[in-house]
Structure 1
Amino acid sequence: MASPDQIAAQILSTKSLSVSPNWLNTFLSSGLAQRNVPLSALAKTAIFRLLASDIKESLSKHRSCVLPVDVYDPMVQERCLQGSIPVQVLDIEDIGTSLWSQIEAIERVERGEAIRGREIVRTIAVDEDPEAAESNPTNNGPVAGANASGSSGSGPHRLILQDAGGTVVTGVEIQRMDGVSVEKLAIGAKLLLRNPTVARGMVLLTPGCATVLGGKIETWDTPWRQGRKARLLEKTGGLEAE
């Protein structure tokens, strides 16, 4: 039977995540460890559940694994944090696309439309029979680049991040990062920061200092997406787009 220390070491070596002993003991009490599951498979299951968990409960709060409590201090011009620090996504915003463009993109998705070049084309409607749609020669089908979030994912993006100790900081994408977009990055997803630079209280996100580990907290992500259009409208003063 795999020991907690063995599993913790496996998770640390593969994902650089220091798991909380209490969380790990709870995971092992589920009975998986008693089923003669190989250590590698057990560690993979633990990692999957870690990525779907609130890291304030599942990861170590040792000071080497968390952000400085004053990380968001705008009076500090620039500093480099040392070590690997896991964080989870509380919010993501496409700051490279206008609010109205994002609202209109969401509304096109709601109407079952998408953009192809300069044309607006019809995709499968919400209540439409997929088989009937396939046989309809006027249906252009899904278009590359269209998605249910109503965002092209062009970026750059601003993220609200939280560490295992509960400290919250803003991260700004200053170089394009794979996997970072409103559509691809779920709320509750985990990122691993490695020696990141913090300038005026904001973490500067680049492929060299931030790795997307993935994951999602369903109870956070679903309401966030359902309320996204309303939040965008609120920022514009609540006026409907023409």
Structure 2
Amino acid sequence: MNGVRSHHGIITEVLLPPPLVHELRARSFPRLFRMTGSPGNRGFGRYLRQRIRMLVERERTPVERAITTAYLGSFLVDHIVHAEKNACRILEQRVFDQDEERRLWNQHYGKVILTLIDELPEGHAILDAMVHLPAYSQLPRSVYEIRDRHWGCLQTIARRELSPGTPAITEVTLLRKVQFVLAGERSVRAKARIICLSASLLADHLCFLRHTPWPRAYLHSMTDLYPFVSQDPLVLQEIIYLDDRS
């Protein structure tokens, strides 16, 4: 697979938005629409590019900067693709089909993100963090090993929660637990592991009750937790690099 080039190095894989960014886009587009207007509006691209640089420079860690760049940069890609769709409609008298639009979007995303990174301070660190962002939405190997060692105990808990009259794990109880963990005195590493383990238990619950594929259920759980986890940048960074530091 051909890589994409930046002055910080060559990415050997095609650069695409991590799952977390896909989920954040789906959940918060109306808010971004109110802030910047619609892709294709006059001045949207220029305003958003200035906004990205300003917001990224406020962030404290490379992981935060990578998420902000990937998230807001994806809307800049929307703007470019919107313009190309309009040009095609006017000049060629045709409309892009979904496959063509998706292919065009994917081609532009890597180029746009690398251009933004090249313009930002500490671009190399941002690029390295961006490559690791998919790890936020995947169960870390060390947490999988904890689940494997204590599988019998976890299954007992799961069966008890599914019993009639027993309070079940829900998004609300998970959020409360995570808030408690983040406010506690545990190490950053311990907090990261507990949060991932808690999200995996909710994924078990969603998988059983809603017949959701387990990886999708875990992604859903971790996306729900993101607004809380992002308030502690060191824990957020530890979750993403948890396997690298095992």
Fold in common (TM above 0.5): no
The structure that is strand-richer by fraction is: 1
TM-score (structure 1 length as normaliser): 0.31
The structure that is helix-richer by fraction is: 2
